[in-house]
Amino acid sequence: MKIVLVCGARPNFMKVAPLLRAIAKHNGLSKPNKPNKLNKLNELKEPKELPITPILVHTGQHYDYEMSQVFFQDLELPKPDVYLGVGSGTHAEQTGKVMIEFEEVLLKEKPDLVVVVGDVNSTLAAALAAVKLDIPVAHVEAGLRSYDRTMPEEINRLLTDQISDYLFTPSRDADENLKREGIPPEKIFFVGNVMVDSLLFNKARADQSQILARLKLAEKGYALLTLHRPSNVDEEHSLTNIMGAITKISEWIPVVFPAHPRTRKKLREFNLDNHATLIASPTETTPPLSLRGAKATKQSQHKSQSQSNILIIPPLSYLDFLKLEMYAKFVMTDSGGIQEETTVLNVPCLTLRDTTERPITITQGTNVLVGNSPPKIIEEVSKILASKSQSPSHIELWDGMTAERIVEILASRSYNL
């Protein structure tokens, strides 16, 4: 059975890596380089069904291969079999380019199945191209809904789910969303969260990262911030609100901000980076955040501390970022995946959005929605700093074995493909 797996952006890499490991295990070839007690993927076994031939396609939606290579190395992903190199552009441009280029791959390879993950433009584009050629599609991370159709990802999720043949969901609420939309129950498979597979598999390796030492950070002595959504980054009012709150918070605790070049450009454009320390690389030597300005006068010390306690650094590798997540006092983000990772890591998370497609991280996890309102953000940070750590959550099937369940289901139905 030949399966094409599609990835195009950073979150996709973390979801595809466990699937490739599970396929290798199914084929009797799996033996990870650095096994750990959190996974059982190092056990060899004889395939019970037809072997699976995986073809990895990287669309290049957000990164070219050279730029994304660090993620491939961290996640032990093989070099893509096909690189489309569609690059950046409008939503329509990206979707159209992926469809055109990916169709050629499908016509050449004639796969039995296409697997798409997540909710980026490449997800929808690849699914559309496959369905038009009557090739079955499996959507990993199906059924998530924010009910906010101003989010491009929500449109990608809705449409991809409608045309997929296998819908693999990370939570029970996702099953219910799909049923309400008329998806036949026999197409829906509750398998757990594949991104958690990557987290648990790589947690021990991430713990070896020296990022805390390089940035001179103490465990639980800093907050972590990520921002990338256009509604937060591209609109001056929203970004000003958020950075105003961050400046206040940095008077209480250092804030580390790995920022994409586009985000840094907007910070400069809106004159919002004057209260931060910018460094070109996390390998630079930096003075300890909590000690900068220590010899200043009382008045200048307050100003210096608010300036120096926001550290803006370039985007990090997967393992370095995971290490920062693991030991942050709390995380502030507008990312969907980070809401899930912080829940598994039992790290408080403040989501800088008004909606989430991952409500289970609120009802059973560590997540709180705060939008971009400075009073709300500051209020929730105050609560975190004043409270003790919570007991860890254990969400159903977020156990590191999701990819194996997916591959088992697909392999058992291979004769029907």
Structure tokens at 91: 């939503």
Tokens of 146: 């924010």
Residue with tokens 């320390």: 277
The verdict on whether 228 is a catalytic residue reads: yes
Token pair for residue 203?
Answer: 């947690």
Is 335 strand, coil or helix? Answer: coil
Q: Over the Cα atoms of the chain, what is R_g?
A: 22
Beta-bridge partners for 256:
224, 311
Neighbours of 133 (CB within 10 A): 14
Give the integer Cα–Cα distance in Å for 238 and 412: 49
Q: Report which residue type is found at 30.
A: S
C-alpha torsion sign, points 30, 31, 37, 38: negative
- Report the candidate in 358, 355, 366, 373 with the shortest Cα–Cα distance to residue 393: 366
Other residues' Cβ atoms within 10 Å of the Cβ of residue 50: 14
Return the SS3 of 2.
strand
Q: Which amino acid is at 102?
A: F
Q: CA-based angle 278:283:284, to the nearest 5?
A: 50
Q: Which of 142, 150, 147 is nearest to 123 (CA)?
A: 142
Q: Are 318 and 202 in contact (CB under 8 A)?
A: yes
To 10 degrees, the CA torsion angle through 241, 244, 245, 249? 170
- As a whole number of angstroms, the distance between CA 294 and CA 301 comes to 7
What is the residue-wise DSSP string for 343-390? Answer: HHHT--EEESSS--S-THHHHSSSEEE-TT-HHHHHHHHHHHHHSPPP
Give the ranges where 190-292 is alpha helix by DSSP (H): 194-206, 211-214, 230-233, 236-249, 261-269
Cα 366 from Cα 276, distance rounded (Å): 28
* Annotated catalytic residue within 139, 228, 302, 394: 228
Show the CA angle centred on residue 164, arms to residues 161 and 169, nearest 5°: 60
- Tell me the catalytic residues: 228
